[in-house]
Structure 1
Amino acid sequence: MIRFAVRLSLAGGREAAARLVVIGVAVALGVGMLLATLAGMNAVDAQNQRYAWLNTAVAPASADPAAEPMWWLIREDYHDGDSIGRVEVAATGPDAPVPPGIPRLPRPGEYYVSPALGELLRTTPAAQLADRFPGHQVGTIGRAALPSPDSLLIVIGRTPGELEPLGARKVTQIMTTSPDGCPRGCYVGINRDGMALVLSIVAAALLFPVLIFIGTATRLAATRREQRFAAMRLVGATPRQISVISAVESVLAAAVGTAVGFGLFLAVRPALAAIPFTGERFFAADLSLTLTDVLAVALGIPLGAVVASWLALRRVQISPLGVARRVTPKPPRAWRLIPLVAGLVELAYFVGRRPPTTNGQLTAYLSGFLLILTGLVLAGPWLTMVGARLLAGRASRPATLIAGRRLADNPRAGFRSVSGLIVALFVTSVATGIITTYVANRGEPRTDSVAATSLTMWFPREDGPAPTADQIPAGLGTIPGVRSVTLVHANPVDEPPPIQMRGTPAGFDPYRSWWPSVITCAELDRLAVFGACPAGARVVAVADDLIGERAWDLTNDSYVWPAADLDPAQVDRQPIRSVVVNTTSRAAFEQARTMLINAFPANGFPASIAERESNSARLMVQFQQLANVVMLASLPVAGCSLAVSVAGGLSDRKRPFSMLRLTGVRLRTLRRVVALETVVPLLTVAVLAIGMGFLAAHLFLRAQLNYTLLAPKPSFYLMVAGGLAVSLGIVASTLPLLRRLTGPETARND
């Protein structure tokens, strides 16, 4: 029976060949996307394993009393906006532990660097980078210690006497636990659970349209296949034999598609590794698959194809006469709107009632998003029916009337082929709305803003006595490209004023009216770029970096700081809290940083506000890029589903259409009918999914961050319009089939 089924599948003419090819392509796309997602999760785990050694300071103490300790200090440095991991070590004996990637601990005056940092040292003037690292390079850090090919890492050898005053810790072992498994928290690494959640959402948004594509392809020429299998039942074939034949057809296409999908994944793996969606690129080998992954996909996809085939042909398996008993399905009911409304109500409820814990917030918001998404999928047929009835009721042309009636009679079929867009467009709209608003409010400042061109060196009170003005390097002001060097002094008012419960003006926030530092108005006016003083004030309270929350208020160039009750002569007597260097070039910025690091090696390294915010901002932008990938990949797949659905519908309805042509209906009228049957659900779903996505994003932003949704950039709308245009173009490519399939010969009774 299996041999007969194979012959029947391969010898069914062009129709059978086309069906196998389409199913194989759909399966290949789904397998490729699924493998890429599984490999991405494995790559995050691999990257986290190589982050482990950088968290050595949080490792529990060794149980071996004979283990020799090592002094360990890790700090974050920057260059040109990129983070540099600076590890400083000092051995206390010959058996001190050695980090991975290097053959031995560096001696005082020696250091090992990662390949990316080594290249940067060779191409950057020493005054801007190399001079801040004491000693000379003795080797390169190996791949076993590098989370990414782009990692900037350096391991510097020191003496115990140099490291102990800097706050270094004694350790007796190198950390080997992945950051996501740190018992007491880690300094660096990836939130594996959060990244897995993001990748899972991306995978679902990519796979859902592909699954719809597979289901649509399986139904290609479903009427003809059902009639053929029904005829076999009538001449004596058993339900089991019909099941075997349909299963063989499905498995044959799915097996070929699965093999092609594995090849597709291997072909695009190098390109996937170059996408820094965790903040840094992967090594290509990190995008690997476990044996469980391979077996689950290789066996699960064909098995799923068998189940889909059985469901598609269940009427024939019940009774051969079931094919002839076709009736108009019951219309969908309005109850399908309940999950959609419930999800919106849940998100709206938490506006002003944000849960206090992270787990509570995840439960509240994620469940709301899932309810809305489920509601969109459930309500789709009902909304399609309502739209089709309105279309038919207002029809002034035959094509509009016919298309509206057909959609109203079977809205589930009309919605099914475009339902894959729901997940993609909803996820993309939510991500775009949230990320656009977040970046506008808290994102990385512009590269030409004062938040990006000003370098700040902090002197926290807990780090010891503040430096004197004589200790600040005099050469800072002589660096070409340095516009100003400003000493910011501590505010003698140690704490914000108490909140007044009565008589407080509306919108007054005492915490934003107090800042930890002070500066004279004469100095602030001379600087010109760090805000202004209120009228009549001589001293104002300012942020340590002279920027504060203005870093995210990029439209406010005339920020007015609150006045401080202090005489200008008293400002210089206050401890120095920070040094702010404003520059006009990147070279001056890095040279000033190197000079400050060498002058104050025990302090935290200087940086700009833009650099300190760059990691989170870049990660948000990378999430936005993933959302764009979801949309750009899903729209053409949805177009292919529509095209297959149209082609299958034309094949199933070629006789009725041929009869209409014989009665005088023009070909262009039939083409308009087919176009309306596909365009109306497509555009309806697109508008609905995007609108619900933006509404859900707005409710989340109001509840979690008290932000108002901002309109996305024009590029978002251009991508949506371009994707829809591609989808409609794919659909239009099937319309020429109408002339060939509906000729006069089709109307004859065979």
Structure 2
Amino acid sequence: MFRLALRLTVAGGREAWTRLAAIVLAVTVGVCLLLATLAGINGVNAQNARYAWLETGFTPETHRPVADADGLWWQILADTFDGKVIGRIDLAATGAHSPVPPGIAELPGPGEYYASPAMSRLLHATPAAELGDRFPGHQVGIIGDVALPAPDSLFIVIGRTPAELSRTGLADEVTAIATTVPSSCSGDECAIGVGIDENGMILVLSVVALAILFPVLILIATATRLSAARRELRFAAMRLVGATPRQVSVVAAVEAAAGALAGTVLGFPLFLALRDPIAAIPFTGAPFFPSDLSLSLADVLLVLIGIPLAAALVARVALRRVQISPLGVTRRVTPRPPRAIRLVPLLAGIAELGYFTAAGPPKTTQHQTLAYATGFALILSGLMIAGPWLTMLAARIIAARSRRPASLLAGRRLADNPRAGFRAISGLVLALFVTSVSVGVITTLIAAAGPSGGNSAGATLQQNFGHAARDGQFVSSVPSIPAGTLARLDAIHGVAGTSVIHSNPTFQPDPSVRRSGAPLGPPQAQLPGVALCSDVARTPAIGRCAPGADVVAIGTGFGNGAGRKSTADKAIWPAVDISPAMLEQLPVSALVVQTDGSRAALESARTLLEKEFPSRFVPDTISAMSAGSGRLLQAYKQLSNVVVLVSLPIAGCSLAVAAAAGLAERKRPFSLLRLTGAPIAMLRRVLAFETVVPLLLTAVVSIGVGFLAAHLFLRAQLDQTLQPPGLQYYVIVCAGLVVALGILGSTLPLLRRVTGPDAARND
């Protein structure tokens, strides 16, 4: 039976070979994308594992005594250059047996440093006053890839003396280098991008995997059903001459699995050929090393066995009418119409997300991942299950109200077999749902972070000093700013002015004010800083003084964290009863530097401040501080772009395959219609109606459900309300629909060729 099945696979001449080639091509593309998805998940894990050594000092394992190991002073800080994050690690060995971080052969001595390849190139290409002067000493080597999360990672490991680091108050003495993979980030770790927020990334990747896998599986299933109706007739004929149901099942499975197996095998070299360009896509915010996009043995076996097996199962399901009776296909019994019960999975998925909106999200990340992945999986499955019912509903409405032959024929054909009509556009429906969810969530997150501080915020540096004590009062580490420092800042080309913000002695911190928003005391008593109006006038990004004031109370949290907008540039600060002479006696809480926004001015001022005031918190622009979680949002935005760019082409391929298959399978009835006098133009309108009607209807439903799911997710997980997407989203949707209609239109010229008189013969 296997030999017969293989012969039947290519029986039929050019048509059979064309069908087989189409199946192989479609499965090859689908398998390549599936492998890229699996490798991408493995790449995220590999990338995050390379952040482990940066956990040194934050985990207990690095402080436990280690036999024959000397202590190592370790200080990790975040730095910034031209919007890029630099991880700075200062080290000081206390003996010959101090632990050595990965990626370097030996610890750098005082006055020496190692740099990552990207950092080394940046140092050599940038004037020292803008970057190199921040780091004492000279370069002695390159940090190896084993310590770098990404090819473009900016890291520098600087050698210092134990006396220098022990006095900073920022360093820890450790006896080992951390090997624990970070599961989340906080403090300095987040500042230098110590991993990705793995909890959030796992949650997003779970949805991304589902979003890409569903269209891929639809593409493969659509491809393996090519000429399914023609094969059903052949198998029914085999049953009539004595073939058993089991023999027919074997032939069908082998015939379907042969093309799928060939496509699966070819998908692996295609993935390997595309691995380098795929690795360059920064869908976590940073590109991958190509070697990170690897496949485990389980991944290989899952794809290599699962895809041909799925193809065989599809063929088995397609033959259910032949299994019941060998005359079932010949008689063309109309299948039972779908019922409204098909809406249950879709409603169940929406109800699950709605439940967590009302009750709150689960407590742990694992439970959140399971809950939301289950909800989105139910919705994705529900769209596929409910699609035929929606198609039948639209077809019956069209057939009942039709006044033209083309729309009447299309409506009745769709009502007769809505499953086949929906199957052709199912991939695009899922792609539109995925696009709506991705764009809706990302648009809302970016809108919540929002632009900050007007145009001048990106040109204004802020250096904070000290920290908040337990009683809420601000404790400054800088009593005053030397006049020489201010003069050197003013001398930098592009620096327009500086503002020195001192601690407000009348500041009255109270947690209840922050919780309830109720006023407490005069307005100036609620602001932590005070500043000269002559200084404030030179730095417009932090607002302006009330008319007639010499000294004003001012807020210092211009970059006020993730998910909030800074509007300090519009603030009018109230006067405070402090003389300029008294102001000079108060400790400094912040220094603001206004520049013209050029890279040279910003980075030269940043370099000077870092040299003058070494601190855990490096100066940054007000807009960057307000962004807070902007880097994580950019990672999510990259993921959203990947989902959109991958799912739409997959859906287009599915539509092309389904359109060609549908045309080939219906050439005999169309030929009979032509013989009875139906013009070719009318038949083309029938084909157009059969695709356009379910496409537009289910597209509207899919987009609406996508926005609803995004809103429920945002309310449950982030307590945010869905923000409408911008013009780009509608352009993408319209472009996708236009391309889909273009694909449909490209198949219409084939109608004349495949519906000649010879196609009307009985097989």
Shift of 1:238: 2.5
> 8 Å contact 1:114–1:153 — kept in the other structure?
yes
2:173 paired residue among 141, 152, 170: 170
Between 92-101 and 223-232, report the one with greater CA deviation. 223-232
Cα distance change, pair 327–626 in 1 and its aligned pair in 2 (3 A): same
1:323 paired residue among 321, 329, 332: 329
Shift of 1:160: 0.7
Aligned twin of 1:559? 570
Shift of 1:613: 5.9
Shift of 1:578: 0.6
**What is the SS of the residue equivalent to 1:485?**
strand
Matches of 1:329 and 1:551, distance apart in 2 = 53
Cα distance change, pair 472–337 in 1 and its aligned pair in 2 (3 A): farther
Between 193-202 and 736-745, report the one with greater CA deviation. 193-202
Matches of 2:90 and 2:621, distance apart in 1 = 23
2:424 partner letter = S
**What is the SS of the residue equivalent to 1:518?**
strand
Aligned twin of 1:665? 678
Shift of 1:633: 3.4
Deviations 1:398-436 (A, max 9, x none): 111111111122222211222222332212111111212
Matches of 1:589 and 1:394, distance apart in 2 = 68
> 8 Å contact 1:518–1:564 — kept in the other structure?
no
Where in structure 2 are the equivalents of 1:411-430 lying within 5 Å?
411-430=418-437
Query: Are 1:630 and 2:630 matched, yes or no?
Result: no
Shift of 1:346: 5.3
> 8 Å contact 1:33–1:203 — kept in the other structure?
no
> 8 Å contact 1:514–1:562 — kept in the other structure?
no
2:509 partner letter = E
Q: Give TM-score scaled by structure 2 length.
A: 0.90
Matches of 1:495 and 1:322, distance apart in 2 = 81
Aligned twin of 1:91? 93
> 8 Å contact 1:212–1:417 — kept in the other structure?
no
Deviations 1:554-602 (A, max 9, x none): 8x68622453654354544432101111111211111111111111124
Matches of 1:631 and 1:436, distance apart in 2 = 14
Aligned twin of 1:232? 238
Shift of 1:214: 2.4
Cα distance change, pair 7–50 in 1 and its aligned pair in 2 (3 A): same
Cα distance change, pair 250–615 in 1 and its aligned pair in 2 (3 A): farther
Q: Structure 2: where are the runs of 5+ without partners?
A: 470-474
Matches of 2:729 and 2:231, distance apart in 1 = 42
Query: Are 1:28 and 2:28 matched, yes or no?
Result: yes
> 8 Å contact 2:479–2:586 — kept in the other structure?
no
Shift of 1:726: 1.9
**What is the SS of the residue equivalent to 1:72?**
strand
Matches of 1:347 and 1:91, distance apart in 2 = 53
Cα distance change, pair 356–240 in 1 and its aligned pair in 2 (3 A): closer
Matches of 1:512 and 1:227, distance apart in 2 = 86
Q: Give TM-score scaled by structure 1 length.
A: 0.91
> 8 Å contact 1:270–1:284 — kept in the other structure?
yes
Between 172-181 and 182-191, report the one with greater CA deviation. 182-191
2:84 partner letter = D
Aligned twin of 1:286? 292
Matches of 2:343 and 2:522, distance apart in 1 = 46
Deviations 1:253-280 (A, max 9, x none): 1121012111110111010111112222
Cα distance change, pair 499–580 in 1 and its aligned pair in 2 (3 A): closer
Query: Are 1:104 and 2:106 matched, yes or no?
Result: yes
Where in structure 2 are the equivalents of 1:198-209 lying within 5 Å?
198-209=204-215
Cα distance change, pair 314–367 in 1 and its aligned pair in 2 (3 A): closer
1:144 partner letter = V
> 8 Å contact 1:437–1:710 — kept in the other structure?
yes
Matches of 1:503 and 1:44, distance apart in 2 = 41
Shift of 1:351: 5.7
Shift of 1:39: 1.3
Query: Are 1:648 and 2:680 matched, yes or no?
Result: no
2:442 paired residue among 431, 435, 445: 435
Shift of 1:347: 4.7
Aligned twin of 1:740? 753
Shift of 1:305: 1.8
Cα distance change, pair 342–209 in 1 and its aligned pair in 2 (3 A): closer
Cα distance change, pair 642–616 in 1 and its aligned pair in 2 (3 A): same
> 8 Å contact 2:206–2:369 — kept in the other structure?
no
Cα distance change, pair 625–676 in 1 and its aligned pair in 2 (3 A): farther
Aligned twin of 2:301? 295
Shift of 1:710: 3.1
Where in structure 2 are the equivalents of 1:306-705 lying within 5 Å?
306-344=312-350, 347=353, 354-355=360-361, 357=363, 359=365, 368-443=375-450, 449-461=455-467, 465-470=477-482, 473=485, 474-492=487-505, 493-496=507-510, 498-499=512-513, 514-521=526-533, 523-533=535-545, 540-544=552-556, 546=558, 548=560, 553=565, 559-561=570-572, 563=574, 566-569=577-580, 570-584=582-596, 585-612=598-625, 616-702=629-715, 704-705=717-718
1:161 partner letter = A
**What is the SS of the residue equivalent to 2:684?**
helix
**What is the SS of the residue equivalent to 2:74?**
strand
Shift of 1:627: 2.8
Cα distance change, pair 44–511 in 1 and its aligned pair in 2 (3 A): farther
Between 76-85 and 600-609, report the one with greater CA deviation. 600-609
Cα distance change, pair 205–509 in 1 and its aligned pair in 2 (3 A): farther
> 8 Å contact 1:701–1:709 — kept in the other structure?
yes
1:12 partner letter = G
Between 57-66 and 146-155, report the one with greater CA deviation. 57-66
Query: Are 1:180 and 2:183 matched, yes or no?
Result: yes
**What is the SS of the residue equivalent to 1:288?**
coil
**What is the SS of the residue equivalent to 1:67?**
coil
Aligned twin of 1:122? 124
Aligned twin of 1:37? 37
Deviations 1:590-645 (A, max 9, x none): 11111111111245321223344668324433433433343343334333333333
Deviations 1:283-313 (A, max 9, x none): 1111112223222222222222222222222
Aligned-pair identity (%): 55
1:113 paired residue among 104, 112, 115: 115
Where in structure 2 are the equivalents of 1:219-258 lying within 5 Å?
219-258=225-264
> 8 Å contact 1:82–1:611 — kept in the other structure?
no
Q: CA RMSD in A?
A: 3.3
> 8 Å contact 1:532–1:558 — kept in the other structure?
yes
Aligned twin of 2:282? 276
**What is the SS of the residue equivalent to 1:57?**
coil
Cα distance change, pair 213–347 in 1 and its aligned pair in 2 (3 A): closer
> 8 Å contact 2:499–2:531 — kept in the other structure?
no
> 8 Å contact 2:497–2:539 — kept in the other structure?
yes
Matches of 1:250 and 1:311, distance apart in 2 = 12
Matches of 2:295 and 2:511, distance apart in 1 = 58
> 8 Å contact 2:151–2:287 — kept in the other structure?
yes
> 8 Å contact 2:497–2:535 — kept in the other structure?
no
Cα distance change, pair 52–490 in 1 and its aligned pair in 2 (3 A): same
Matches of 2:552 and 2:185, distance apart in 1 = 44
**What is the SS of the residue equivalent to 1:97?**
coil
Matches of 2:689 and 2:524, distance apart in 1 = 57
**What is the SS of the residue equivalent to 2:542?**
coil
1:694 partner letter = F
Matches of 1:428 and 1:724, distance apart in 2 = 13
